Chains A and B, each alone.
Chain A
Amino acid sequence: MSESVRGSDDERDRELIARWKGGDERAATELVQRHSQALARFAVASGERNEVDELVQDTFVRAFNSLDGFRGDSSFRTWLFTIERRLLLDRRRADKRRRDRSEIKEDDAATEYDALDSVVADEMQERLQAAVGRLSPTQREVFTLRVAEGLSYKEIADAVGTTEGAARVHYHNAMRAVKEFLDE
């Protein structure tokens, strides 16, 4: 992976964080603009459907409240994913009975995603959505971060709380499962 490309992104984030700490509120807006959609994608891929904005907002609020604790060991975006994932797990624990999010079961994956489909009618994308929906939660998280966000295995491991090697295995298993579903 190009360290220079990633490094420039990280550098820009650090610069914006410093500006925000110095009182520049526009820096906060830019940080949100840079990362909110990635967080939303991760939320949707993780099964959150109805409260994506709230989840993204909570993630940023928590992040900004603890910016002093951000040491920069990982990228700012990876750190945000870590926070968002914890929030997701907390929500699931606190609201086990609410099952309207897309926690896909084996036999109704396509049906669940049909309900979501109000934008894209493309058959290939529907099938892809169904294939991703069949993955285990961990596989789906790793696959989403790798494919949709281009994170490295190291960054994925940091965000998901696993090892780099385990993240690599999860990704390749997920890719194999998606291919098999599409070949059926």
Chain B
Amino acid sequence: MNDCMNAEVRDRLPELLHERLDAAERASVLAHVEMCVDCRAELELLRNTRAMMVARTPRVDVNYVVQALPKSYARVARLTPHRRVWADWRVAAAVTLLVAGGTSMAVLNRGAASVPATTPSAIVAPVAAAPGTTAPAPTTVAQTPTPGESAPAASKAAPHHTDAAGATAANSAANSATAAELATAESPTATTDVGAQLGDLNEQQLQTLLKDINNLKPVPVTDPDPVTLRVTTSSSEGDDL
């Protein structure tokens, strides 16, 4: 079997076999093949070789192959339940607020009806504790005009926790009760007296107190004042530091 001298056409024979020539090329190559014995023989050889390779290859089980393929990203995403993290924390926060608010209302209402004094103080104390601890300034409660007798006692019992509450309650007579409440957080022994004072408040005072509690805002956390250290060094004392 000889090789045709037209290498260009010979190079095109596999493409002719696989029908991968455009119309013009195909016509040109076919025209050559029709008059070239060597190219016809080679094309026949190619056809037989291809047939042999196809016949000797076992049939692939497509299902066997496909069942092992990974799932596409989109399908995996569709099958994975959507996690609504965004909504979850908001729902939790709303429920927490409702429970806290409802409990406060219930406790205060019970306090108005001579409920044991420890309950309102336990509720109010955490509210006021935060501002009190972040701003350890001298108390102002003792200086505010207070018609009740509890304010001075409160300032004595818990001077560190009353300034914030006192500042917000300066215009209200009920604020003395607030101060007393705050005082009881530090002084368990005084809770009975304070509870009794809460019970003595009338409806208007209780409403005012509740409003003030709702208006309480946490004092922002402040950094301590910067401390400047002045170090004086001299040639003889330089190693002391």
Which of B70-78, B131-139, B153-161 has 4 or more CB atoms under 8 Å from chain A?
B70-78
Instruction: Tell me if B192 is interfacial: C-beta within 8 Å of chain A.
Output: no
Instruction: Tell me if A146 is interfacial: C-beta within 8 Å of chain B.
Output: yes
Instruction: Tell me if B171 is interfacial: C-beta within 8 Å of chain A.
Output: no
Measured between beta carbons, the chain A residues less than 8 angstroms from B72 are: 20-25, 28
Contact A182 to B1, CB < 8 A, known contacts A1-B20, A120-B56: yes
Instruction: Tell me if B25 is interfacial: C-beta within 8 Å of chain A.
Output: yes
User: Do B65 and A53 have beta carbons less than 8 Å apart?
Assistant: yes
Per the bound structure, the CA–CA distance linking A147 and B11 in Å amounts to 11
Per the bound structure, the CA–CA distance linking A2 and B61 in Å amounts to 31
Q: Mark each residue of chain B from 28 to 72: 1 if its CB lies under 8 Å from any CB of chain A, else 0.
A: 000000000000001001101111111111111110111011111
Instruction: Tell me if A88 is interfacial: C-beta within 8 Å of chain B.
Output: no
Instruction: Tell me if B82 is interfacial: C-beta within 8 Å of chain A.
Output: no
Residues 133-182 (chain A) with a chain B CB within 8 angstroms:
144, 146-150, 152, 168, 175-176, 178-179, 182
Max count, chain B CB within 10 A of own CB: residue among A4, A25, A128 = A128
Contact A29 to B66, CB < 8 A, known contacts A20-B72, A147-B46: yes
Per the bound structure, the CA–CA distance linking A129 and B57 in Å amounts to 12
Instruction: Tell me if A40 is interfacial: C-beta within 8 Å of chain B.
Output: yes
Measured between beta carbons, the chain A residues less than 8 angstroms from B60 are: 36-37, 39-40, 52-53, 56
User: Is chain B's binding surface mostly helix, strand, loop or mixed?
Assistant: helix
Per the bound structure, the CA–CA distance linking A116 and B61 in Å amounts to 19
User: Do A41 and B57 have beta carbons less than 8 Å apart?
Assistant: yes
Per the bound structure, the CA–CA distance linking A147 and B3 in Å amounts to 17
Size class of A's contact patch?
35 or more
User: Do B55 and A125 have beta carbons less than 8 Å apart?
Assistant: yes
Not counting A23-B74, A44-B57, A182-B1, a sample of 14 additional A-B residue pairs whose C-beta atoms are within 8 angstroms of each other reads A2-B22, A5-B19, A21-B74, A25-B72, A25-B75, A120-B52, A124-B48, A132-B49, A147-B14, A147-B53, A148-B54, A178-B45, A178-B49, A179-B45
8 residue pairs, one from A and one from B, having the closest CB atoms: A150-B18, A23-B74, A2-B22, A23-B75, A36-B60, A125-B52, A148-B53, A179-B1
A residues engaging B (CB < 8 A)?
1-6, 20-25, 28-29, 32-33, 36-37, 39-41, 44-45, 52-53, 56-57, 60-61, 64-65, 116-117, 119-120, 124-125, 128-129, 132, 144, 146-150, 152, 168, 175-176, 178-179, 182-183
